[in-house]
Chains A and B, each alone.
Chain A
Amino acid sequence: MVWCPDWSVVAALEEAEASPRSPAAVLSANVVEVCNGPARSEGVRRGQRRRDAEARCPGLLVLPTNPDRDARAFEPVLATVEDLRPGVASLRPGLLAVRAPGSWYGTEEEAAATVCQALVETGVWDVRIGIADDLFTAEQAARTAKVQSWEVVAVGGSAPFLRGLPVHVLEGDGPQGRELVSLLQRLGLRTLGDLADLPGAAVEHRLGLYGAEVRRRARGEDAALFGARTPPPELDAEVAFEPPLDSVEAITFSVRTTAERFVTQLAHHQVVATGVRIEAEAEGAVCSSRTWLHPRHFSARDLVDRVHWQLQSSTVGGSLRSAKDSGAVRAPIDRVRFLPEVVEPAAAHGEALWGAASDDLVERGVARIQGMVGFDAVRRPVLQGGRSPSARQSLVPWGERPVDLRPLDRPWPGRVPGPAPVRVFATPPAAEVVDDAGREVRVSDRGVVTGEPRRFRVGGGVLPWQPVTAWAGPWPTDEGWWADGVGLSARFQVVGADGRAWLLLRAPDGWSLEAGYD
């Protein structure tokens, strides 16, 4: 069991690019959910209200709760441990279970040291490891361990180890744990051992199923282990050539039936392959191996095409493809093997006769794009309240829930009426607007326009001046005046000579082009 304490704070600090040593707390509904060590030493506690927490620790960094972020940040930790010992189970962000590597690293202590070192190298400072017979004991052992250290409970030693623990360790189980702790303390039961000594029927009667479960755990009777992965059925398919073939055309022709068999075999298990590894062997050794991904799923014909491309690309280097050697392979191939790498239920990939592509399919497609260009690059548009067009919208990363949206049903005085602009610039380009005499148009503190806009241009002189045929405004706003805001700014709708309309913003520091009606 590997435990990284206060993981949401660690993840949030990493996202906020703040120092991991600064006091911080993650709040949900203005109540402290998790806080880190420096904050705890200042007196911040879980369940405290925001006001109280900030009063005790004025420098407290308050971070919003976001379970998706925590899980995402925990992914590299899982991968690191998985490199050392496969079969990792993530119990929740910050806590993972893995079978203690056997004698490979020597003793269990040495294994723990190896895992610990690997994690510290990836930048996770606070790592604690517990090793025990069952999950509950291992978690408690990890909680008693020091930073970057480990605690080993000997085989069969779970019950004595747990007996000595005070009951408040159950607080980690969430609200029902906290409730039980308070009840047990009022009953005068101080340690888990006290609970374990009570008769089982009485505990179940008074404390319910959860209490009975805790008692079983404390007696070391509950050997909860994490779900072991069931090995998938053997779905590989291979074909051997005797004698070995040395032409791509002949090979692709011969793998056709094998590819069909491979796809039917998968269909028999009601799955389809979206990622397949194709291996070609020459003289008993793998000479070409590559994983192919398919946007939907592989049919037999797709597989044959992939074999063709793979063998052909391994024969000719890059784009220097001459007609002479395009059909020959480097060494005669005597075996081609298909290994399914990613299989998914066939039902998720069927195209519906009624209606469009299923939502699952879209999710998968978008996940693939996220893999290509990054998690943040794919967005989902949502509306929110605000005065400027860019404040009235928000682009939420795909797969995350929008948080802290301003309400739409408020009046938002000062917002520009009329149809919404089609183009909203994320970074408004600077603009210039002048009147008849060529002077810059300004807006006074009382919202009076100093001259009539006649010409405007964008991009600091790169684009030519454009005459204004019609304009409307100003719509003044003074946002954040209570906290040293930018001062009075005003928006104008301006129609250019080409019949296109723009939304221009006059801020104290100059004009900018906020949006276009195109």
Chain B
Amino acid sequence: MSSARSVAALDPGRSVVEQLRERVAAMEHKPAAQAVPTLPGLAALVPLHAGATYGVDSASLALALAAGASQAGEWVGFAGCADFGVEAAAELGFELSRTVLVPDPGDHWLEVAAALVDVLRVVVLRPPASVDARAAGVLDSRLRTRSSVLVVHGHWPRVAARLSVEESSWTGPTSGAGQLLERRARVVVHRGARPPQRAELTWPGVHRADPQVHELRRASG
């Protein structure tokens, strides 16, 4: 079983030797920069890197960021998300048998998150209202030596990238007729001092809806 799963965990688009080198570096406790599988719709916008923290402002973005790793057979965990929608996760391709939930960690949220970061590949955390820099620092330093990604739904002092929904609309329902069909949302990505990057995403099954960004990328790179 392990061999079939592990081959899937490697990114076929990149050289195998290079990826194995990254893993060896991670095992030797060097600063990890290993790429973590991301959904194709998000990969160009926010490629996840091990050891980094990402901030989001909506549950659907948090789920979308963790979905790629779970699809690739990695373990993922959710701490503090008492309202986890299991069916939505299954629709995004989550491997539910490799998903750990701690719906209500209470006062122990920092210890629980640290323990999850130790063993899982992607950890989604919804921290309590106020997080001080010291608590965040504890988790950040733990992340640096592990090959996992922290996705924070809420406020966090320092993040590699922050994703937020600027505008969202649903197609389908009118006045009483129809049903929810498709959601379009404009997502903006803030990365430190860099100019924010915007993208149109559609649900269900997170996809890119704006072709011009691909063209821009091709022109610049």
- Inter-chain contact B88/A354, CB cutoff 8 Å: no
Q: How far is the CA of A295 from the CA of B145 in the complex (A)?
A: 12
- CB-CB under 8 A from A472, the residues of chain B are 172-174, 176-180
Nearest CB in chain B to that of A386: its residue: B87
- CB-CB under 8 A from B204, the residues of chain A are 419
Q: How far is the CA of A422 from the CA of B90 in the complex (A)?
A: 10
- CB-CB under 8 A from B82, the residues of chain A are 426
**Docked complex: A394-444 residues within 8 A CB-CB of B:** 394-395, 398, 416-426
- A356 on interface, CB distance cutoff 8 Å: yes
What 1/0 mask marks residues of chain B from 89 to 128 whose CB sits below 8 Å from any chain A CB? Answer: 1110000110111111110100110111011110000000
What 1/0 mask marks residues of chain B from 178 to 215 whose CB sits below 8 Å from any chain A CB? Answer: 11110101000000000000000001100000000000
Q: Which of B3, B23, B178, B183 contacts A501 (CB 8 A)?
A: B183
A296, A351, A419: residue with the most chain B Cβ atoms closer than 10 Å? A419
- Inter-chain contact A372/B6, CB cutoff 8 Å: no
Q: Which of A296, A373, A417, A426 contacts B118 (CB 8 A)?
A: A296
Q: Which of B59, B87, B101 contacts A420 (CB 8 A)?
A: B87
- A488 on interface, CB distance cutoff 8 Å: no
Q: How far is the CA of A493 from the CA of B104 in the complex (A)?
A: 27
Q: How far is the CA of A389 from the CA of B176 in the complex (A)?
A: 20
Q: How far is the CA of A355 from the CA of B5 in the complex (A)?
A: 7
- Inter-chain contact A470/B170, CB cutoff 8 Å: yes
- Inter-chain contact A372/B88, CB cutoff 8 Å: no
- Inter-chain contact A392/B86, CB cutoff 8 Å: yes
- Inter-chain contact A372/B111, CB cutoff 8 Å: yes
- A329 on interface, CB distance cutoff 8 Å: no
A434 to chain B: closest CB distance in Å? 15
A377, A392, A471, A518: residue with the most chain B Cβ atoms closer than 10 Å? A518
Q: Which of B60, B102, B172 contacts A379 (CB 8 A)?
A: B102
Q: Which of B119, B167, B177 contacts A365 (CB 8 A)?
A: B119
What 1/0 mask marks residues of chain A from 498 to 518 whose CB sits below 8 Å from any chain B CB? Answer: 111100000000000001111
Q: How far is the CA of A472 from the CA of B27 in the complex (A)?
A: 52
- A366 on interface, CB distance cutoff 8 Å: yes
- Known contacts A372-B112, A449-B176, A380 near B120 by CB under 8 Å: no
Nearest CB in chain A to that of B24: its residue: A353
- Inter-chain contact A366/B119, CB cutoff 8 Å: yes
- Inter-chain contact B102/A369, CB cutoff 8 Å: yes
Q: How far is the CA of A224 from the CA of B174 in the complex (A)?
A: 76
- A381 on interface, CB distance cutoff 8 Å: yes
Q: How far is the CA of A398 from the CA of B103 in the complex (A)?
A: 12
Q: How far is the CA of A472 from the CA of B2 in the complex (A)?
A: 46
- Inter-chain contact B173/A493, CB cutoff 8 Å: yes
- Inter-chain contact B90/A378, CB cutoff 8 Å: no
Q: Which of B2, B104, B106 contacts A355 (CB 8 A)?
A: B2
- Inter-chain contact A452/B179, CB cutoff 8 Å: no
Q: How far is the CA of A425 from the CA of B87 in the complex (A)?
A: 13
- Inter-chain contact B96/A382, CB cutoff 8 Å: yes
Nearest CB in chain B to that of A356: its residue: B74
- Inter-chain contact A369/B6, CB cutoff 8 Å: no
Nearest CB in chain B to that of A495: its residue: B170
| B interface residues, Cβ below 8 angstroms from A | 2-3, 5-7, 9, 20, 23-24, 27, 58-60, 63, 73-75, 82-91, 96-97, 99-106, 108, 111-112, 114-116, 118-121, 167-170, 172-181, 183, 185, 203-204
The 8 closest A-B CB pairs, nearest first, are A355-B6, A365-B119, A499-B168, A472-B173, A393-B86, A420-B87, A354-B6, A418-B180
Beyond A372-B108, A377-B103, 12 additional contacts (C-beta under 8 Å) are A352-B2, A353-B24, A365-B115, A373-B106, A377-B105, A383-B90, A417-B179, A422-B88, A423-B85, A471-B176, A472-B173, A499-B185
